[in-house]
Amino acid sequence: MKFVENISPQAHDEFVKKSPLNHLLQSSTWAKVKDNWGSAIVGVKNEHDELVASALVLIKHLPLGLTMIYTPKGPILDYTNQELVNFFFVSFKKWAKKQNALFIKFDPAVIYRSGKVGGESVANPAASEIIENIKSVGAEHLGFNLKMSETIQPRFQANEPLSALVNQIYPKHTNRIMKDAKKRGVTGRRATIDALKAFSAVVNKTETRKGVSLRNFDYFQQLMTLYGEDAYLHIAEINLFEKYHELKNQLETIETDIANTPENQKKRFNRLNDQKRSVEKYLAELSQHDCSQNVPTVIAGILSIKFGGTLEMLYAGMDDDFKKFYPQYLLYPIAFNEGFEDGCLWGNMGGVEGTLDDGLSKFKSNFNPDIQELIGEFNLPVNRLLYKLSNFAYKLRKRRNAHD
């Protein structure tokens, strides 16, 4: 085997996409997204000059010429092959030493166990062996964290298995809410980069509502530009003007029918009154908004990137003024279906808390995803003395950030 310090982006991406550990954060383009870090692609070739391990490496420059190295959702290799694991990490550590690295942080996308919310989780039979194989090269396993704030990337993720029958796995109440969103006039579609400002605006409202910091317009534009056709922007809209006048016309028709219904036709009379109450309810909700402009209003959106067989749903936002219109319940299935049509087998909705009792987990569970628990993060010390000091400082900063 031979360690290679300059794997080509094309060879790396091809290798990653074929791996069961495929992940967007290991795509070579991700280095351009993280342009405030240095980067490299290193790997191992066998005696046939075939790539058997590869890693996109991000390099954070620190004071005094030191660095920290992070391999997001990597490295990509067969972790059950102890010989390969040993050779790669021994070589990787020597390479990192030349970069003046204190330590290497990595979190491969190896599933520890997986299952449905409320169901029994199925363990990956190779997971414990993989953890031990990694630890045998001197790496420190940082444990089975439950909180997203404790790790760089979430250890638990809601991943939707995609198929032509994906709509059939949703719970009944989810299908009811999707129909209700359509009745309220919500529509969903894949948009172009021209809709980014409107998407950025609803994300900003989500940030304000949740008290979190996501990303801004420039970052979203960078993602869509770099990934091109593999970037998916889905938006939910409503034309308030059209829907308001449609409902007004419906109400007038129903009232006319009620007036013309003979007293002895009680079933028809009751049915019409039920329809009247329903339309009046929708009109009351619409009247809380400006319905004078005959243009669609963007009320929710999702920005996703396709890489390999997965649609990574990176950012989502909703205008909370329209929460009763349930736009996200309509939008996620549209994104899932389009991802499947384009060859994706998974729609990764992103991280959730390991306790599965937070609002985000409860919302994502409405689509019956697989909750996948990953094996977690590892640190491989390069400079052992300085690593202990730097790791203490890193943990202290993480705790402070969690409380801010």
User: What integer pLDDT is reported at residue 160 of this predicted model?
Assistant: 96
User: What integer pLDDT is reported at residue 212 of this predicted model?
Assistant: 62
pTM as predicted: 0.89
| CATH for the stretch 2-153+374-403 | 3.40.630.30
Residue 297's DSSP bridge partners are: 238
Digit-coded pLDDT (tens) for 6-57:
999 999 999 999 999 999 999 999 999 999 999 999 999 999 999 999 999 9
Digit-coded pLDDT (tens) for 322-350:
999 999 999 999 999 999 999 999 999 99
Q: Say how far apart CA 148 and CA 401 lie, in whole Å.
A: 12
Q: Say how far apart CA 363 and CA 52 lie, in whole Å.
A: 39
CA neighbours within 13 Å on the CB side: how many for 343?
Answer: 7
Q: Where are the domains of the chain?
A: 2-153+374-403, 163-239+296-344, 241-286
Digit-coded pLDDT (tens) for 269-305:
999 999 999 999 989 988 889 999 999 999 999 999 9
User: What integer pLDDT is reported at residue 213 of this predicted model?
Assistant: 64
Q: Say how far apart CA 49 and CA 65 lie, in whole Å.
A: 34
Q: In what helix (H) or strand (E) does residue 190 lie, and over which residues does it extend?
A: strand 187-191
Nearest alpha carbon to residue 106 among 10, 11, 42 = 42
Cα-based angle 305, 344, 179 (whole degrees, multiple of 5): 85
User: What integer pLDDT is reported at residue 386 of this predicted model?
Assistant: 83
For 167, counting Cβ atoms within 10 Å of its Cβ (0-12 exposed, 13-18 middle, 19+ buried), the class is middle
Cβ count near 142 (within 10 Å): 18
User: What integer pLDDT is reported at residue 343 of this predicted model?
Assistant: 96
Bond before 75 cis per omega within 30 degrees: yes
**Superfamily (CATH) of domain 163-239+296-344:** Gcn5-related N-acetyltransferase (GNAT) (3.40.630.30)
Nearest 5°: phi and psi at 111?
-75, 130
87 — pLDDT class (breaks 50, 70, 90)? very high
DSSP 77-123: E-TT-HHHHHHHHHHHHHHHHHTTEEEEEE----EEEEEETTS--EE
* Token representation of residue 119: 């169901």
Q: Say how far apart CA 181 and CA 330 lie, in whole Å.
A: 7
User: What integer pLDDT is reported at residue 172 of this predicted model?
Assistant: 94
Q: Over pLDDT 90: what percentage of the chain?
A: 82
* Sign (positive or negative) of CA dihedral 323, 326, 331, 332: positive
* Token representation of residue 269: 């009379």
User: What integer pLDDT is reported at residue 206 of this predicted model?
Assistant: 76
Q: Say which range, 66-80, 87-101, 198-212, has the weakest mean pLDDT.
A: 198-212
Average pLDDT score, the chain: 93
User: What integer pLDDT is reported at residue 207 of this predicted model?
Assistant: 66
Digit-coded pLDDT (tens) for 240-267:
999 999 999 999 999 999 999 998 898 9
Digit-coded pLDDT (tens) for 372-402:
999 999 999 998 778 877 767 666 666 665 5
Q: What's the whole-number mean pLDDT along residues 113-142?
A: 96
